[in-house]
């Protein structure tokens, strides 16, 4: 069964096709950070955030009780593992895994766009939107 963009199927099994510019909420922090899949839209087990940093910009520091995964869509920069004091270079096409409890931040050498987030959802990220 085909579902049009932005349409929602009703019932126990549901598919949603989401757009960052229409179906997301801004999260606090530096850069453009938007929650697309998160508990406020009904997700219980997973998140998907859109993160865009301008050249030279660094995100806030995050630490989640669960792990996090990000896919680098475009740009380059690095992820800082602030727990281990290590810096990991990233560029388009790479995937970053952050272990649970690890303090981290993203930094952009050139405009950096990533999608991903913690799993399970980290309630501390969404307090302003509950």
CA-to-CA distance for 31 and 51, rounded, in angstroms? 7
Q: Supply the pLDDT for residue 127.
A: 78
The residue segments making up the domain with residue 29 are 25-129
Q: What is the pLDDT of residues 52-92, one digit of tens each?
A: 999 999 999 999 999 999 999 999 999 999 999 999 999 99
- pTM score of the predicted model: 0.87
Within a domain: 6: no
Query: Which residue do the tokens 């938007």 mark?
Result: 34
- Could you tell me if residue 116 is inside a domain? yes
pLDDT tens track for 20-63: 999 999 998 899 999 999 999 999 999 999 999 999 999 999 99
CATH number of the domain where residue 106 is located: 2.60.120.10
């Amino acid at each position: 069964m085909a579902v049009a963009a932005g349409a929602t199927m009703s019932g126990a099994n549901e598919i949603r096709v989401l757009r960052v510019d229409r179906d997301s909420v801004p999260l606090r922090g530096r850069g453009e950070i938007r929650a697309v899949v998160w508990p406020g839209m009904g997700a219980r087990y997973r998140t998907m955030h859109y993160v865009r940093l301008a050249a030279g910009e660094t995100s806030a520091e995050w630490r989640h009780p669960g792990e996090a995964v990000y896919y680098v869509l475009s740009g380059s920069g690095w992820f800082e593992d602030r727990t281990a004091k290590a810096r990991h270079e990233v560029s388009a096409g790479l995937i970053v895994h952050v272990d649970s409890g690890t303090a981290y931040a993203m930094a952009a050498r050139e405009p950096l766009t990533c999608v991903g987030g913690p799993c399970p959802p980290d309630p501390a990220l969404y307090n302003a939107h509950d």
